[in-house]
Amino acid sequence: MTSVDIVTIHLVWAEDVALRPSPHLLRGAIGHCFPDNPLFHQHDGERFLYRYPVIQYRWDQSGPWLVGLGAGAHFLKETEWVGMALNLGGCAVTVRDAICTFRLHEIRPAARLCRYRFAAPWLPFSQDNYARYQGLSRTKRCLELDRLAVAGVLLGLRGFGIEFPDRLYAAFEMKSARPCGYKGIQLMGFMGSLVANVDVPDGFAIGRAVSHGYGWITSAEKETSSDDSWGS
């Protein structure tokens, strides 16, 4: 259907520091280094760009890393990371090593449902929408999460210029829920599994705040981080 370039950059600090996983701090620090490149921070001057982020920031038990999808992959690969000085919430660190991995993934309809796991909480609601969700019956809550899963996958695909040719089926199975901080507010995040009739790459993300490390998925056939290993 459509082949997408994917580059991941795993960062290793020169300093011996133990930092709490903080993808939002990583995003802010790196975005500060590239003020004129909106791919890194979704801002064109004072204007916010409403589009699917093609450079996203992650931090799990393996450490801090970035993922570049499509157009974002080129900029990550061409950037000189070693020696870059970053300020992570008041902690000064220097990049000692940047481990770059490149792969190509063909996003295409799947003959059977593919199962994925959320490696970081999915944020499908605003505060207002979540209040309305709480007023639904249990059955309608499940249907609403399924509906939002379909919408999230379709929006992510459109971020790559992909219009799904068939009817997209997706469903979410909840494992746990917890409040997550995002720009000074609390949104409800959901952990669990996603099934869909589309083959998407590990690292594909849906929902709100995906550039801040939320909502990314990986194949259920591979080992993933547990709820407790992810931080916001």
Which of 104, 134, 158 is a domain's end point?
104
What is the distance between the alpha carbons of residues 109 and 112, in angstroms, rounded to a whole number?
Answer: 9
Confidence of residue 1 (pLDDT cuts 50, 70, 90): low
Range of the domain at 58: 2-104
Domain boundary pick from 104, 123, 138: 104
Would the CA dihedral through 159, 127, 45, 72 be positive or negative?
negative
Q: What is the CATH number of the domain that holds 217?
A: 3.30.70
Last residue of a domain, one of 52, 80, 104: 104
The answer on 221 and 122 residing in a single domain is: yes
Question: pLDDT of 55-112, one tens digit each?
Answer: 899 998 889 999 998 888 888 999 999 999 999 989 999 999 999 999 988 999 999 9
- pLDDT bucket at 43, cuts 50 / 70 / 90: low
Whether the pTM exceeds 0.75: the reply is yes
Are both 130 and 212 inside the same structural domain?
yes
SS3 34: coil
- Please indicate, yes or no, whether residues 92 and 121 belong to a single structural domain of this protein: no
DSSP letters of 167-220? ---EEEEEEEEEEEEETTEEEEEEEEEEEEEEE--TT-B-SS-GGGT-SBEEET
